[in-house]
Amino acid sequence: MIQAIAVDMDGAFLKSDNTYDETRFKQIFEQLEKRDIHFIVASGNQYYQLKSFFPTLQDQITFVSENGALIFESDQLLRSNQFSTDVVQRMLTFLANHDLDLNVIVCGIHSAYILKNTPKDIHDIVKIYYHRLETLDSFDQLPSDPIVKFALNLSVEKVADFVTEINEAFQGEVKAVASGHGNVDIIIPGMNKGRALEWLLNRWNLKPDQLIAFGDANNDLEMLALTKNSYAMASSSPALIETAKYRAPSDNDSGVLEVLEKELSIRTKIKRT
């Protein structure tokens, strides 16, 4: 019996315009609560951005943010993992040497950080995904905020080579993963969505077969490999399609909600558009 649901946001739960069918979801969520089914948002994005999508439900949802480095519940930090100061400094030097210092987001527990001279077009995009964002004159002046992830955007054709290069340069110290649309997340090895979900399932005394999970990019691989009830969205990466047991309709067709209604026999009283 399904007792937990984990959804990636961009490319899975959210449509391409960063919205979702709120009326339909609210009806589904009411049924989940009646059945004591946990709803988990599992994303590479910042916690403060993720909870903004659920203004009336955020205290009833568990958030796995920054690709598993942070877990929040009822606005309380349950679990965190961070890079050492040495790795942070060497990573920033590495990115600067690759002329990527103006394109990197340094993600802490309390805020994210970019440089003041970051181009405006990049800054404007970053603000959409990081609701707590500070600008710095230099990364030499990082606040005393534990760093949990680095994020940057590259040309899509450069992603695979860059991921390989950074994983070789920092073997065992970081893990670079493609998160879709030219985005690269540099995370703590072993700290991924799958590991975070394992921790939550143990906390709730649940088994992986009681979880249903949805994703679309390579940073969802461990999450979907965790359970036999795994769904790759219609536009997923080839690796994710190979890993997932099932396919879900497109995010733009509310594929996650459609599968949940079917798998959990939930009827919603709304008119489809």
Active-site entry in 8, 216, 220, 251: 8
CATH code, 206:
3.40.50.1000
**Which residue range forms the structural domain that includes residue 255?**
4-80+191-263
- Please write the tens of the pLDDT for every residue from 191-225: 899 999 999 999 999 999 999 999 999 999 999 99
Backbone angles phi, psi at 177, to 5 degrees: -135, 145
Quick one: which H or E segment has residue 255? helix 255-263
Give alpha helix (H) positions in 19-130: 22-34, 47-50, 85-97, 120-129
Whether 153 is in a domain gets the answer yes
Which pTM value belongs to this model? 0.90
Does 8 qualify as catalytic in the annotation?
A: yes
Same domain, 92 and 75: no
Same domain, 68 and 100: no
Whether 273 is in a domain gets the answer no
CATH code, 168:
3.30.1240.10
What CA dihedral angle connects 84, 85, 87 and 92, to 10 degrees? 140
Same domain, 169 and 252: no
- Please write the tens of the pLDDT for every residue from 113-161: 999 999 998 899 899 999 999 999 999 989 999 999 999 988 889 999 9
